[in-house]
Amino acid sequence: MPLEEYARKRDFSRTPEPGADAVDDAHASAPADDSPRLRYVVQKHAASQLHYDFRLEWDGVLLSWAVPKGPSLDPADKRLAVQVEDHPLDYADFEGTIPAEEYGGGTVMVWDRGTYTPRGDIGEMHAGGSIKIDLQGEKLEGGFALVRMKRRPGETRDNWLLIKERDDHVRPRDAYDVLVERPDSVVTGRSIDAIAEG
């Protein structure tokens, strides 16, 4: 089951998160030369520590990374991205509060969303440790790269770096920090505090 780890960590009688029973394989074998435009989402997650979850639709699930400092439009910012379990496609629309006693307890916001075009086969790039994509989103645009780092002794998950590539969408962070300038939900316009209260 593709979402076994996702399901094992959650009690769906308690959490409002989407279940793990539906996997869409519509894009499972999309050839690279078709340049499929797939969905991506970045969710702001106020759990024990505020972070951002970067998710790419592929092979019927959302490949997912936790980015502690959030994405940046500045190529000088090489942001740590810790790969986590795949999530169901329905999670791309999830905005709400996970109970404190549940895994990932805290408030989730759809901070950015849109489509992306992979520069090759995602499966092959993922296996090779270098994923290059072009984002067409409401807050993030242009080329981005995910680069896997070598595991250190004791590490059980793959750490990657999320890096903005140099193109027309670059914004130096000292002049424009997209996390500060556009902090709210692209779905409802609410702040993270307003979502928590709701």
Burial 178-193 (b: 16+ CB within 10 A, else e): bbeeeeebbeeebebe
Question: In the predicted model, what is the mean pLDDT of residues 120-127?
Answer: 95
Q: What are phi and psi for residue 92, nearest 5 degrees?
A: -60, -25
- Domain boundaries defined on the chain: 36-197
Q: Is the pTM of this model over 0.85?
A: yes
Position 142 scores a pLDDT of 98
Q: How many Cα neighbours within 13 Å face the side chain of 151?
A: 7
Residue type for position 100: A
Ramachandran category for residue 26: left, alpha or beta (phi over 0 → left; psi -120 to 50 → alpha): alpha
At 154-193, the pLDDT tens digits run 888 889 999 999 999 999 999 999 999 999 999 999 999 9
- The residue type found at 196 is A
Would you say residue 30 has pLDDT above 50? Answer: no
pLDDT reading at 111 higher than 60: yes
Q: Which residue matches tokens 């759990």?
A: 47
Q: Which tokens sit at 71?
A: 């994405």
Between 162 and 2, the more confident residue is 162
